[in-house]
Structure 1
């Protein structure tokens, strides 16, 4: 039954895209549009960063603007992972992947992430969906999940044993080929080396410094980081404020949204209707702003993967009508209490 529903949704959304593209011929220039989005995002980010360095804008404005722009670049990277720009020009394609990663260094290496992301589309909601489980999908909500929502290093370090054990069991149960298991585990580990780990370590040191300064000012504790580390953080201050803190904000919002719009654990294999929901309730707007309204459109992407993020956004109202009429859930926020299970009676 679900195959028929999925096929219908996919055909209707695809036709919507075709109609929209025929109405606006400029959309045929997909490579140029993708590169323009990249260039404009970088130019705007560089501009506000220079203004901040010259004390012409406040730190909070720098963080907000760059977090939004890096959210746009995340969507661009996602399209690149699906080979939507410069597929036949490997040099430009890989250079774009490199630069959108360097501007978002808290994320996984995109070439390794491609392996995990394609696996995610094939096995969304399963025990071996490493991409989503890596951002806390399927876990009970509590202080630990909240604190480690944006953290791909310590957050995954505390859950890697359970994750790898589940993968091993899935291989034993015949649900996953052993060569695929090795491939996705390697991608999950090596994708963090070295940029992602180093970037997180800088943020950890910066956080410790903030805590120690707070304790000293308010309680006279008098404990400080070694002088060498303090000097290092001072030297790295532009990187921290221009790149890392905006990405921490962006990544927290993205992971909070994506980990709760994906269902986990009791998803019927191949049933795309059960894989995701649409989250567009008004009070999530602040979160959506910093991940380019991911909750509005990602469920659409699960049905039709080969369309750009901007066309997906521009046609989302029609897609939502089709999906809602076919049983796709909207704003099922009670799933948060169910640790992202699809069925209300599922055991956690």
Structure 2
């Protein structure tokens, strides 16, 4: 812990450096697009863990310029996510009220919803996905205020931060991805079926200019974000969690078929539950000590690979 700042910055520099270098090699034709996406998705997963540690003030707490510089660069390389300065409020709220109706952070990534095609398709999408969720979420928050489970001021703040955290970078980045996929679909139909339907030339010019950003940053983050949201939304319990009972908030998720997703969120399912018990521990320390932590957690009733959560829409208990 004496070298925590240095270690954190080295991990930051390596992750940023490798992602930009991979982008350069792709741009000059040395690296295929699929390899670029896989490599950068992995290192953006590492940067997500660093951002999470920064939100908990684990690096450069007494040197705000460095602290905020790291947050800014990580956000620019992960623009599909919420503004980290807004996310900090939502994340600290998540720790205080994990698994409750007003746990905005987890509900924003589909926690508590029944599994189906809609949840699967919108799992990584914070813009359209949250448009589908916002009515039920805001209604539940209103009920929680009425029932005395949440202060009105806190409710107002988390709703505003959840919305304004998407403006402008997150929304703009999603729009670029939407246009990218739609453009490729239209080109496919035009080539295969001579449909003649295509975007205007000026949109294609803009998309050509955006191509490096799309391949180097956005597509890897789409893979990373889908993987993270799949893991985090199913290791957190929702809806019937006893307030403040950390034993009911999370599980350890290590089952073999989650491995492809775990790779792109730095094995979040293996270690995030540890974080709920020891909040001020850096992500790499959690990994180093995970087997010792698992032993203690198992002895005290923390669940491991509770796959019933998929059937129960992430409830801790079976429905009665």
TM-score category (smaller protein): over 0.9
- Tell me the SS of whatever aligns to 1:144: helix
Alignment of 1:82-231 (within 5 A): 82-231=56-205
Distance (Å, rounded) in 2 between the aligned partners of 1:215 and 1:142: 28
- Alpha-carbon shift at residue 91 of structure 1 (Å): 0.9
Alignment of 1:10-89 (within 5 A): 27-89=1-63
- Tell me the SS of whatever aligns to 2:237: coil
Distance (Å, rounded) in 1 between the aligned partners of 2:55 and 2:48: 10
Q: Give CA deviations for 1:136-194 in whole Å, capped at 9, x if unaligned.
A: 00001111110100000010011101110110010000000000001100110010000
Is 2:239 the partner of 1:265?
A: yes
- Alpha-carbon shift at residue 80 of structure 1 (Å): 0.1
- Alpha-carbon shift at residue 135 of structure 1 (Å): 0.2
- Alpha-carbon shift at residue 42 of structure 1 (Å): 1.1
Q: Give CA deviations for 1:318-342 in whole Å, capped at 9, x if unaligned.
A: 0001101111001111111110000
Show structure 1 runs of 5+ residues with no match.
Answer: 1-26
Distance (Å, rounded) in 1 between the aligned partners of 2:181 and 2:9: 35
Distance (Å, rounded) in 1 between the aligned partners of 2:70 and 2:196: 46
- Alpha-carbon shift at residue 219 of structure 1 (Å): 2.5
| Residue in 1 that maps onto 2:308 | 334
| Residue in 1 that maps onto 2:252 | 278
Q: TM-score, normalised by structure 2?
A: 0.99
- Tell me the SS of whatever aligns to 1:124: coil
| Residue in 1 that maps onto 2:261 | 287
Q: TM-score, normalised by structure 1?
A: 0.91
- Alpha-carbon shift at residue 218 of structure 1 (Å): 2.6
Is 2:289 the partner of 1:319?
A: no
Alignment coverage as a number of residue pairs: 320
- Alpha-carbon shift at residue 220 of structure 1 (Å): 2.4
- Tell me the SS of whatever aligns to 1:28: coil
Show structure 2 runs of 5+ residues with no match.
Answer: none
Q: Give CA deviations for 1:247-298 in whole Å, capped at 9, x if unaligned.
A: 0000000000000000000101111111000100112110000000000000
